[in-house]
Amino acid sequence: MTTDHRTHARVAVVTGGSRGIGRAVCERLAQNGLAVVVNYARDAAAAKETVATITAAGGRAVSVQADVADENAVTALFDRAEQEFGGVDVVVNAAGRLALSPIADLDLEVLDAVLRTNLRGTFVVAQRAARRLRAGGSFVAFSTSVVATRFPAYGAYVASKGAIESITLILARELRGRDITVNTVAPGPTATDLFLDGKGPEQIEQLAKAPPLERLGTPQDIARVVAFLTSSEGHWINGQILRANGGMV
């Protein structure tokens, strides 16, 4: 394993860490020597699988349930991280919700649910991270490259993610003087259950050919970006939106 040279063992909290990109991030950060708190909303079994994979490889991890939009639950999540591992150095908010619908047809209750998880959830996790991260730490949020490509039917999702991009530099500037970075990763089409759900083979093939590299991204592609941003090598990058999408807009 490779590790950053710090005066203490580094600790990461990853929301949405039981599946997809979140799970890949958990596993990659553990490979880099961080202890990982794997947050999940509902799928306890998948979170335990993530922990088991990490510990089997010699890493340290625990799973903790919390709704990212619930400030009390997120506070308890950070409390658990500090109790288990002594502090928090990296926070990655990978939890998210996707709903596809033309704007004219969207059920407003669905809109509320998307905004609650994606926007309020990110805000709550960022708020707690700002209060708890140690010097030298990093916060990474998630957006989507659809903020730029503006595909039809993504109105609710893009509305939630565009707001996240807007607050990235604001939070970075608010943390001036604390040696903490704040960045947002905006993946393009990535082969996760969330992305593939409801799409036919032709649509998936079309999206795979959109980037000049002519393939879907993988969760591991995105996890490598997060690992760099949260490492000492990536610490000069701050307040940025990184479109990890193989060359799309």
Starting at the earlier edge strand, list the strands of the sheet with 35-40. 61-65, 35-40, 11-15, 90-93, 138-142, 181-185, 241-242
Beta-carbon contacts of 63 under 8 Å, excluding residues fewer than 6 positions away, are: 17, 18, 37, 38, 39, 40, 44, 47, 48, 50, 51
Cβ-based burial of 77 (10 A; exposed 0-12, middle 13-18, buried ≥19): buried
Whole-number Å distance between alpha carbons of 69 and 59? 28
pLDDT digits (tens, 9 = 90+) for 114-141: 999 999 999 999 999 999 999 999 999 9
Question: In terms of Cα–Cα distance, which of 193, 175, 167 is closest to 132?
Answer: 175
In a domain, 156, yes or no: yes
Banded model confidence at residue 182, pLDDT cuts 50, 70, 90: very high
Query: What local confidence, expressed as pLDDT, does residue 120 receive?
Result: 98
Query: Which helix or strand (DSSP H or E) is residue 83 part of?
Result: helix 71-85
Range of the structural domain that residue 148 is part of: 11-242
pLDDT digits (tens, 9 = 90+) for 74-101: 999 999 999 999 999 999 999 999 999 9
Query: What local confidence, expressed as pLDDT, does residue 163 receive?
Result: 97
In a domain, 113, yes or no: yes
Catalytic residue among 157, 211, 216, 243: 157
In a domain, 4, yes or no: no
In a domain, 248, yes or no: no
In a domain, 5, yes or no: no
Provide the β-strand partners of residue 154: 101
The rounded percent of the chain whose pLDDT value lies above 70 is 97
pLDDT digits (tens, 9 = 90+) for 23-66: 999 999 999 999 999 999 999 999 999 999 999 999 999 999 99
Query: What local confidence, expressed as pLDDT, does residue 194 receive?
Result: 76
Alpha carbon of residue 242 to chain centroid = 13
Catalytic residue list contains 157: yes
Query: What local confidence, expressed as pLDDT, does residue 6 receive?
Result: 53
For strands 181-185 and 35-40, give the pairing. unpaired
Query: What local confidence, expressed as pLDDT, does residue 3 receive?
Result: 43
pLDDT for 71 beyond 60: yes
Residue 132: phi and psi, rounded to 5, are -115, -20
**Residue 93's CATH number:** 3.40.50.720
Contact between residue 182 and residue 227 where contact means Cβ atoms under 8 Å apart? no
In a domain, 247, yes or no: no
With vertex at residue 75, the alpha carbon angle to CA 72 and CA 80, rounded to the nearest 5 degrees, is 125
Structure tokens at 99: 């709903």
Query: Which helix or strand (DSSP H or E) is residue 242 part of?
Result: strand 241-242
Whole-number Å distance between alpha carbons of 118 and 97? 6
In a domain, 109, yes or no: yes
Residue with the bigger pLDDT between 242 and 3: it is 242
The rounded percent of the chain whose pLDDT value lies above 90 is 88
Number of domains in the chain: 1
In a domain, 249, yes or no: no
Banded model confidence at residue 199, pLDDT cuts 50, 70, 90: confident
Residue with the bigger pLDDT between 4 and 83: it is 83
The mean pLDDT of the chain is 95
Whole-number Å distance between alpha carbons of 60 and 58? 7
